[in-house]
Structure 1
Amino acid sequence: MTTFGTGNASQTLRMKQLNTLIWSMSIIRAANSTHSSVIWPDVPIHATECALFYCINKYHNVVQNGDLIQEITPVESLRSPLSWQPENDIGVAISDPTRASSIEFDDYYSYYTRSDLHLVSSETGHAFNISQNAVNGISSYFQQNFATDTTNFPLNDSDSDIDDAGQLNGAYFTLGSELSIPGVLQVFFNSENLSSTFAGLATSMSNTLRDFADDIESDGIGKMQTGKTQVVAVLYTIQWPWITIHGVVIAAGWVFLVTTIRINQRYGQGREAFKSNALAVLSRGSIVYHTIGKTQSMSQMERIARNTEVCLFPKTPTGSQLEPGEFGPS
């Protein structure tokens, strides 16, 4: 893979209209081949040119159900003709017009003071300034990390005209071992989609600029946005009258049970056994035959039994219970 990176739009192939160019890279990459018989130059190659440039975006933020949703819309921006103007005799010193208008960092020409880079939104007319220090610093960073010394060479053996020469300032190749000059190009070579890689790089740069731009206003107060966070909570309302009804029923049941036990323990024989069915009477068999013997159906038998009083375990005058097999009066 060979590359040529530049911050001067006039040296690009299809980015010459970008007058806010930060960095452009022309990349020629050989496609990975699984066939060992493929020999250079019979290898498919792909050419790509990607660019980073200053622009204006419109950000619309909405919080929905606690999630921050951000919509980013590019806005057509124009570089003001009055921006990036020399504030001294740099106009006389620079003979190349493309160099005079370019925002690319130069070891010599960037020494001269310029006005801010001035971008204007064609949609709203809002203006945004980027200082010369910021422009030079970002451009210099890309030169140092995305390119090495430029190599010029003729396009063919008979061509020696420097204007028609090729230029390279980066390469990645393998000759027994991998070699990447500069090292960042290994990421580009391994990238499956160079356009997505540059888009991710541009997004990270935009996020960084937004994080640290305009932290302090002119009055020294930071631009802090405050808001409210809502948390959904489930609340229960206790209806005490309904709970009281259940408590009264439970308490009454306990009173009824305790009273029944105490009465039967105290009076013993001749007291009615509280019952919910006829089993207490029917368990006496022949003793109660004269009471239920004339019935002809189970329902009649149960009806008569419910109205009959029995004492299952009557006490003797001495207080002891009857022996098994003995029955008291019914």
Structure 2
Amino acid sequence: MEGAIMAAFYKSVEELRRATRFQCSSGNFTFDESQTLGACHRCNDVTSQLVEREGGFDDFLDTMAKYEHGWKYPPANALYLSNGHLITNSNGCRLYDNDGDCPTSRFTSTTFGTGNPNKTVSMKGVDTLLWSMSFIYPNFAALSNSGLFAPSMLGSKGNQGNAPAVTWPTIKLDASECALYYCLKNVTSTVKVNELTESFTEFDGVTRTPGSRNDIGSSSQVQDLLRENARKSEFQAPADEARSLEFHKMWSVLGYNSLGLRDPSRPLLRSAEVQEDSIKSLSAHFQGLFRWKAWFDNATIRESLQNISGIMGLEDAVGFNGATTLEWLRQEEVVDQKSRPPMLGQLMPLSPPDHRKITSIFERMAFSMTNEMRRTSQPEDQAGYGRATMTHTGLVGGPIVLYRVVWPWVALHVASVVCACIFLLMTVYSSDHQDDAPLWKSSSLAAIRRGHDIGDLFGSAGSSVRDMEDIARRTYVGKRRINQEEAKPWIEETVEPAAKPRMEPRTP
């Protein structure tokens, strides 16, 4: 599953679609609709819920950014969302300029990740939430349109003045929130010309199966131990965390049964189950990827957040647990861009982020995780890539014969053409190598020339060709060939020819 999550950052949706394995000998295949457990995503633009609060956040900023001691910075305003996620910088700070009233570290964007629906902005109704993140980041379109910012200006000195478009807190910010959660999907699969096409439709109204994710383990010894631990307050989750699927090092000690998902509108549809170990491990994995450990459950930061909630009246402030920063290294006079945690740079790159890019990554992540759930629903499927249990039978498209090749007929025509070519070549070859062949055998004019020699033999023949052929069969002609004479030119000086013996017919 870790590999499936990482694949979402460097593979497109089309590449992930082609990752599904199938076998179809005919090249055309139709599967019946099937249902599968999967991961779904949901993203909302929550820019309209950003609220600005003036002053009083300099102590919190000092805790998070670790100001250089001895420097006195102006008060810090903050913009925050309804879940307590905020972003703050010193007033008058030009985030992308090194000549401003800024500490060495400026927060260009912040994130807050959680697996508890009650700590989200717009995902409170998602009962099977696996992971949710809210993002606050600059509106780079507004920065570019102002003409005061370009990537080439990053870190340059004094080129932006005090323009509101690039100065905190008047710089324009956007906010988004995206979530991943367990769901049921309807899958339609077809194969045409050896290309698999699948469409996924999420079932609406999917809820937890009654009684799931509640009971403590079945083993009596384990059950007794867990019940004893459950009496301790540190192992008891607060009321707003009781139904959360989020992993916690203390509250997750208690054993739960598997999480069941069902669609009340389809009572005949078999419910899907997610094992408790899978839920805990996935939640812990997302926390490690997108939550900066140094900022999570930090006593100093927690105290600073409590002061904000009490003094500033910002209820349930959670601050942020991930951020991208620009740090001006004064000695080297360069800008260092950092993401905390580092994986945040892949989810929300330092290049201009926007709601569409963030949504695309969560879409690919949900798609890739669903593919992995379909392949390895059981432990024995991991080695066999899902061939043992995750198989479906469909209808094979039968081939239709449009053209039939009859090889004997093809061979006959080929043999006829080859024989004709051989006969032609032999004829050309034999004619070319018989220099003494009589002219009358290859020339109609030569035959006319010698016609007087045999003309009397056919005098008694009738008017038909058959009469001439009969006389020819009964007549013998003495062989005589004078090549020298036949080789002479037709027109020459007149010479009285010598007497020629007549050819007498003989009866066989």
Q: TM-score, normalised by structure 2?
A: 0.48
- 1:241 and 1:42, CA in 2 relative to 1: closer, same or farther beyond 3 A? same
Alpha-carbon distance between aligned partners in 1 of 2:192 and 2:441, rounded to the nearest angstrom:
69
Unaligned runs of 5+ in 2: 1-108, 150-159, 161-165, 217-225, 328-334, 450-479, 498-508
Asked if 1:138 is matched to 2:282, the reply is yes
Residue of structure 2 equivalent to 1:195: 359
Match of 2:207 among 78, 85, 99: 78
> AA paired with 1:211?
R
Structure 2 equivalent of residue 53 of structure 1: 181
Which residue does the alignment assign to 2:243? 101
Cα distance between partner residues in 2 of 1:115 and 1:157:
37
Secondary structure class of the residue paired with 1:177: strand
Does the Cα contact within 8 Å between 2:376 and 2:390 map onto a contact in 1?
no
Compute the displacement of 1:323 (Å).
Answer: 6.8
**Amino acid of the structure 1 residue aligned with 2:362:** F
Q: Does the CA-based 8 Å contact 1:154-1:161 persist in structure 2?
A: no
Runs of at least 5 residues in structure 1 that lack an aligned partner in the other structure: 285-313
Write the distance in 1 (CA, Å) between the matches of 2:311 and 2:436. 128
Higher relative CO (Cα under 8 Å, sequence separation at least 6) belongs to 2
Matched position secondary structure for 2:371: helix
Structure 1 distance, partners of 2:369, 2:200, is 14
Given the alignment, which residue of 188, 205, 208 partners 2:369? Answer: 205
Question: Hey, what's the Cα distance between the residues in 2 that align with 1:280 and 1:215?
Answer: 98
Q: Report if aligned partners of 1:154, 1:162 keep a CA contact under 8 Å in 2.
A: no
Relative to structure 1, the CA distance from residue 223 to residue 229 in structure 2 (aligned partners, 3 Å threshold; closer, same or farther) is farther
**Separation (CA, whole Å) in 2 of partners of 1:247 and 1:321:** 40
Alpha-carbon displacement from aligned partner over 1:126-153 (angstroms, at most 9, x marks no partner): 1111111110001111112211224453
Match of 1:308 in 2: none
Q: Return 161-170 or 72-81, whichever deviates more.
A: 161-170
CA spacing shift, 1:25–1:250, aligned 2, 3 Å: closer
Give me the TM-score of the superposition, normalised by structure 1.
0.71
Determine helix, strand or coil for the equivalent of 1:165: coil
Give the superposition deviation at 1:65. Answer: 1.0
In 1: Cα distance, 2:171 partner to 2:429 partner: 100
Other structure's SS at 1:206 match: helix
Change beyond 3 A, Cα 1:97–1:154: closer
Does structure 2 retain, via aligned residues, the 8 Å contact 1:155–1:164?
no
SS across alignment from 2:269: coil
Q: Which residue is 1:169 aligned to? A: 321
Letter in 2 for 1:147: R
SS of 1:186's partner is: helix
Aligned-residue offset at 1:242: 4.0
Aligned to 2:125: 17
CA spacing shift, 1:321–1:159, aligned 2, 3 Å: farther
Asked if 1 retains the 8 angstrom alpha-carbon contact of 2:375 and 2:390, the reply is: no
| In 2: Cα distance, 1:121 partner to 1:281 partner | 104
Deviation at 1:224, TM superposition (A): 6.6
Measure how far apart 1:197 and its partner are. Answer: 1.3
Conserved? CA contact 1:29–1:189, under 8 Å: no
Q: Which residue of 2 aligns with 1:114?
A: 256
Q: Name the % identity.
A: 23
Q: Which residue pairs with 1:294 in the alignment?
A: none
Please state how far the C-alpha of 1:42 moved relative to its aligned partner: 2.2
- Does 2:115 correspond to 1:7? yes
Structure 1 residue 120: Cα displacement: 1.2
Change (3 A) 1:254 1:97: closer
- Asked if structure 2 preserves the Cα contact closer than 8 Å seen for 1:26 and 1:50, the reply is yes
Shift of the 155–68 alpha-carbon distance from structure 1 to 2, 3 Å rule, reads farther
Which deviates more from structure 2 when the two are superposed, residues 170-179 or residues 89-98?
A: 89-98
Residues 265 and 25 (structure 1), Cα distance of their counterparts in 2 relative to 1, 3 Å cut: same
1:1-330 aligned within 5 A:
1-32=109-140, 33-34=143-144, 35-36=148-149, 37=160, 38-76=166-204, 77-87=206-216, 89=227, 90=230, 94=236, 96-122=238-264, 123=266, 124-148=268-292, 149-150=295-296, 151-152=301-302, 153=305, 159-160=311-312, 163-175=315-327, 176-190=335-349, 191-192=353-354, 193-214=357-378, 216=380, 222-223=388-389, 225=391, 235=405, 237-239=407-409, 240-243=411-414, 245-246=416-417, 265=436, 268=438, 272-275=440-443, 316=482, 320=484, 324-325=488-489
RMSD across aligned positions (CA): 4.1
| Counterparts of 1:194 and 1:28, CA distance in 2 | 12
- Residues 181, 59 of structure 1: alpha-carbon distance in 2 compared, 3 angstrom cutoff: same
Return the offset for 1:322.
6.1
Tell me the distance in 2 between the aligned counterparts of 1:81 and 1:261: 101
Q: For 1:44 and 1:115, how far apart are their aligned partners in 2?
A: 47
State the 1:244 CA deviation.
5.4
- Deviation at 1:241? 4.5
Change (3 A) 1:86 1:323: closer
